[in-house]
Amino acid sequence: MKFLNGGWLVKDGFEVNYATHVYGTRQTKNNLTLYTPFSYISNKGATLDGGMMTVELFSPHLDIIGVRMYHHKGAKKLGPDFDLNTKDILPEMVETESDYSFVSGDLSAVITKGENFSISFNYKEANLTESKPRSKSYIKDPQGFSHISEQLSLDVGEYIYGLGERFTNFVKNGQTVDIWNADGGTGTEQAYKNIPFYVSNKGYGVFVNSPGEVSYEIGSEKVSKVQFSVPGEMMEYYVIGGESLKKVLENYTDLTGKPSMPPAWSFGLWLSTSFLTDYDEKTVTSFVDGMVQHDIPLEVFHFDCLWMKEYEWCNFTWDQETFPEPQKMLERLKAKGLKICVWINPYIGQKSPLFDEGMEKEYFLKKENGDIWQWDKWQAGMAIVDFTNPKATEWYQEKLKSLLDMGVDCFKTDFGERIPTDCIYFDGSSPERMHNYYAFLYNEVVYNLLVEERGKEEAVVFARSASVGSQKFPVHWGGDSTSDYPSMAESLRAGLSFGLGGFGYWSHDISGFEAGANPDIYKRWTQFGLLSSHSRYHGSWEYKVPWIYGEEAVDVARKFTKLKLSLMPYIISQSVYTAEKGIPMMRPMVLEFPEDLATHTLDRQYMFGDNLLVAPIFREDGKVSFYVPETKGVWTNYLTGETYEGGNWYEQVYDYMNLPLLVRPHSIIIEGNCNQHAEYDYTENPRIHVFDLHENETLHAEIHTTNGEKAANIHLIKKNGKYEIEIDGITQYEIVLHGVTDIPPAPEIKIENHSTYIHSSQKTLIL
């Protein structure tokens, strides 16, 4: 929200009061409180008839400093609040003649005394950002509503990223961003998943602790500042430091929650009925059998909305006209080795048999006059389940449990964005604060049921909406995209932005959701989709089975599905790291290579885990430009064997069976011996690919079980021209030393394609 008219004037109808100087302080063992009047106090008489802003500094975690700003403290406090993991941190507080210092770990806030009140945030000796004079303000808008606003400085060359799954430019400088969940598709400034947390390429993050609306002006109202404001009398934000951008994200997810690790099978291929297509069991069976006939391994089959009767979403009951024997149908599908997903949302249409029950028991959101809140968008007379009512939550979960008992394995938790503010909640929550937070409650309710019924290792949802902390309930997908290259690109940059909000796992509708996919976009998006953490074919009016798009589409789907399944040992190990550290599996290049300035604006390529660079192709002619980061050693295309020097741009043309999939120098990629399923024994005869190991360098890799437990270790060192290899937890394996051809010959060694292949069962090898 903009309050100013240029550099000197205030917009008509607005009143802005700035915190001017520190007039007094109060200190406890945990907090430093600053009293900052709206005008300079030169004598005691000036303390009369004027307001002030109270500013409190505290630390919920080491290397995190919280700032709480309020005008009138007595405003009624309504929930909900984010579920934060706070600690009892004792900061160091020092007062000198010119300033106050508040220190948490290596992060400090230095507050100036005198007329020009400012707070400078520093990590060790480096300045991160600053709340300069006239940055903290209390504002009245033309309607008389109050707002609290803060401005933090932007440095020369500084870029801002994040703020949720945003489809606009990856670098947020120059944008106005409103944290307000909306069902706007992938082609607008609206977002399904708004997260009031941004990171900077200077190596810090800022989190506004408000589940309601937060308005950002990122180098827009003031071109050298990030401004953020909230309605009301109080705002709280946290500045988060760390040794690196990754550490900042780790610290943020220490506070807001780590991503839960989804089951291994969820990384396999998902296929959907699509949304508005005609289908019954015969159609579904033809799709599933067709995938088998075309040798395209399928892990999950998804039934979208029309598994239920139209106008009755949700009734949680199979449409008997279309699926007369749902239990037997699911048994037949599961006998083929499939997991089953069904579509749900938190709404109950008036025609649903559940509507009267929910109305009678008061399980729905209400209007202020006590009526049920209803409208006709999406479903006629639709009501919304009130998850702040424990009995409503239990009722909703009971309906889902009956589906789990029938054989359903997971749920696509669609919608959750269009939540009204003119309503009443059972627990008295603020509708404005609940608008975004509802997505958290909705997915928490479903995810927790899956944990209770299936166990933590088997719990997964496919969610569209999110709020802070929703990373604990994976997986999320990117919503309604169109079937073209611009939408494919906007989906990618949204996913990269989303990952910088602590979300570890993300997907998108392969070939686009809306109608109009052609064979070209289908094949290119298939490559991208199967090199994402989660992979699903889904559409609106069109089926998305590969053979509809031609024989080559079948070949592409087969190749990249099997490629992903063969990479499951690598993927699961990366997933373990994601769950432990809060670092996304699909990473913006700047997150992995912050020291390489050329990576800071890249949004058409990404790192898939630590060691794989993916550059999707966004052109029909197969031409792609990509940047290879400056590192020691050479990068190798995993598919073609071609090598690349870092610190350079490349432009190449690829057919549909290839793309830039580059392995980072000095790394190990574990290839499993199975390409038919996502779940298998990753320690059984794996192929261990070794790339660019130099003299006196060591490499280490781990193999995990499907549920994330450590199962094997691989350790390599090159010393005096020889490779020393130690293997623990594997009985039979093959090692591939890429680019190495000078190993002495032996029966178990072969040299081909400029690489050395060694078959062995020994725990120690010296080559």
Catalytic sites, residue numbers: 414, 417, 480
φ, ψ at 435 (rounded to 5°): -55, -50
Name the DSSP class of 395. H
d(CA 582, CA 309): 40
Query: What tokens appear for 317 in the block?
Result: 């009951």
Alpha carbon of 683 to those of 263, 663, 687, 710, 731: distances in Å? Answer: 18, 21, 10, 10, 8
How far is CA 447 from each of CA 412, 453, 459, 470, 533, rounded to the nearest angstrom? 11, 10, 6, 10, 19
Beta-strand ranges (E) seen in 313-393 are 339-344, 347-348, 383-384
> Taking Cα atoms as reference points, which of 44, 38, 45, 46 lies closest to residue 21?
38
Instruction: Let me know: does 340 contact 408? Beta carbons within 8 Å.
Output: yes
End-to-end distance of the chain based on CA atoms, in angstroms?
65
Short-list 54, 67, 68, CA closest to 121 = 67
| Class of residue 707 by CB neighbours under 10 A (exposed 0-12, middle 13-18, buried 19+) | middle
CB count in 10 Å sphere of residue 762 = 12
Inter-CA distances, 295 with 145, 290, 395, 632, 675, Å: 62, 8, 42, 40, 10
Kind of pairing between the strands at 64-70 and 509-510: unpaired
The three-class DSSP label of residue 10 is strand
Find out whether 462 and 477 touch, Cβ atoms under 8 Å: yes
Residue type at 351? Answer: K
Whose structure tokens read 């007595």? 74
> Is 297 in contact with 561 (CB distance < 8 Å)?
yes
Residues near 531 by beta carbon (within 8 Å), at least 6 away in sequence: 560, 564, 608, 612, 614, 616, 661
Distance (Å, whole) CA 609 – CA 588? 10
| The length of the chain, given as a count of residues | 767
User: Looking at 352-397, which runs of residues are DSSP E strands?
Assistant: 383-384
| Residue 381: how many other CB atoms lie within 10 Å | 15
**Three-state DSSP class for residue 253:** helix
Amino acid at 226: V
Amino acid at 405: D
What are the tokens at 452?
């209770």
Chain centroid, CA 611 distance in Å: 19
Q: Which residue has the tokens 């809306």?
A: 514
Strand partners, 410: 341
Q: Which residues is 16 bridged to in the sheet?
A: 139
Indicate the residue type of 45. Answer: G
Percent composition of the chain: helix, strand, coil (DSSP 3-state, to 5): 20, 30, 45
Which residue type sits at 160? I
